[in-house]
């Protein structure tokens, strides 16, 4: 079984949440900005790095909200070279923007980022991580 550990940020300003649009392997949906932790990288630093890469914003971590864990069966994995199930561990932080300008990731797994009204989230095409992150608040 493969294991992937990733870190994400829930960033809310007023009545809006900062989301990234995931678009990979023919599938897409809105997600929390974040992603995989590099070997030896601190999880909070990974969340800050990924937020910057996916949204253009500099962020500061306010604290950990929770850890989500689930297993993706081998036949549901998106990677063509996957040979077994994937244990996904997602560390979710509360964060806030400290600077930067909204920009979109180039050549990554997300293609767009935006501030979305919290009242619109239930009607979005989104990945389950958005609901997980909001449930931690």
Question: For 125, phi and psi rounded to 5 degrees?
Answer: -80, 105
Q: Which domains does the chain have, with CATH numbers?
A: 2-136 (3.90.79.10)
pTM of the model: 0.94
Tens of pLDDT, residue by residue over 60-85, are 999 999 999 999 998 888 776 677 99
Strand partners, 109: none
Asked whether 54 and 33 are in contact (CB, 8 A), the reply is yes
106: confidence class by pLDDT, cuts 50, 70, 90: confident
């Amino acid at each position: 079984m493969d294991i992937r550990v990733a870190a994400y940020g829930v960033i809310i300003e007023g009545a809006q949440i900062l989301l990234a649009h995931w678009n990979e392997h023919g599938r897409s949906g809105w997600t929390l900005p974040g992603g995989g932790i590099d070997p030896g990288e601190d999880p909070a630093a990974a969340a800050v790095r990924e937020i910057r890469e996916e949204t253009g914003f500099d962020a500061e971590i306010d604290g950990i909200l929770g850890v989500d864990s689930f297993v993706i069966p081998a036949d549901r994995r998106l990677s063509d070279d996957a040979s077994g199930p994937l244990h996904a561990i997602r560390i979710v932080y509360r964060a806030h923007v400290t600077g930067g300008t909204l920009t979109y990731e180039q050549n990554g797994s997300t293609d767009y980022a935006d501030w979305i009204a919290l009242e619109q989230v239930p009607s979005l095409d989104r990945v389950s991580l958005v609901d997980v992150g909001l449930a931690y608040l």
